[in-house]
Structure 1
Amino acid sequence: MGDIQKLTIDGKNYVLLTEEDYEDLVDGLQADAIMSRVAAGEETWPYEFVKELTESDSRIRSFRNYRGMTISELAAAAGISQPYLSEIETGKKTGSVDVLKRIASALNVDLDDLVVG
């Protein structure tokens, strides 16, 4: 960190630092917050899987495979038929919000993780 200047203006104390030092400080605080969430048990995904999600034509299939589930296992966990889940995965059907919520719950992800915005 570079030189830090302390100033008093109108009786208030201020610290003057370079923009680079300020950005480093903010980055460090954000990194600490992220590491705290990870330490508290928040799941992280490997880069390769995140990249797959951005390129996938079916995020549900990608998460299902990542979780090591068969299509039958996920359908049973979500309380829907295997053919219906297959149609959702292939894009033939969209699935209701309720069904997508159940699929997300069975995959242990947020609904937002399944829906590309």
Structure 2
Amino acid sequence: MNEMVTIPREEYERLLGAAEALADAASYDRIKADMAAGQEELIPSEYADRVLDGESPLRVYREFRGMTQSALAAAAGVNRVQIADIEAGRKSGSIETVRKLAAALRVTIDDLV
């Protein structure tokens, strides 16, 4: 089955563009379905921009969830000083600590590191 088809470059590029648009539409549909199922959420741009600008993701997500350091410490079973140290960049926190914080904030570990 070595059949070949020759088409003009313009047609090839048009087909390639259509395939990319179809893949984008499928991704969009998948994300919309995940959002409807509660598996994905939108983060307002001001919070996303803060993370992109280098601010501590832990602080950004904590504030996005409307939590104080003390409230997050209680929810995660973590010492408040550990949270302050991680947010200030003095410490990174153990995997177990970050896992507990991520669970309390309803985000993935990857969102915090």
> Which of residues 96, 100, 103 in structure 2 aligns to 1:102?
100
Q: Which residue in 1 is equivalent to 2:9?
A: none
2:16 match: 19
For 1:113, the equivalent position in structure 2 comes to: 111
User: Deviation per CA, 1:25-57, whole angstroms, max 9, x where unpaired?
Assistant: 222222111111111112221222212111133
Task: Please name the residue that 1:76 is paired with.
Answer: 74
1:39 aligns with 2:36: yes
2-structure distance, mates of 1:47, 1:80? 28
Give the letter aligned to residue 111 of structure 2. D
The letter for the 1-side match of 2:73 is A
Q: Which SS does the other structure have where 2:48 is aligned? A: helix
For structure 2, which runs of at least 5 residues remain unmatched after alignment? Answer: 4-11
Q: Contact 1:78–1:106 at 8 Å: present in 2 too?
A: yes
Measured in 1, the distance between the counterparts of 2:87 and 2:106 equals 17
**Greater strand percent: which structure?**
1
Aligned-residue identity in percent = 39
Superposed structure 1 runs of 4+ greater than 3 Å apart:
none
Which structure is larger by alpha-carbon Rg, 1 or 2?
1
TM-score (norm 1): 0.76
Q: How many residues align?
A: 102
Pairwise CA RMSD: 1.9
Task: Kindly state the Cα deviation for residue 82 of structure 1 after the two structures are TM-superposed.
Answer: 1.6
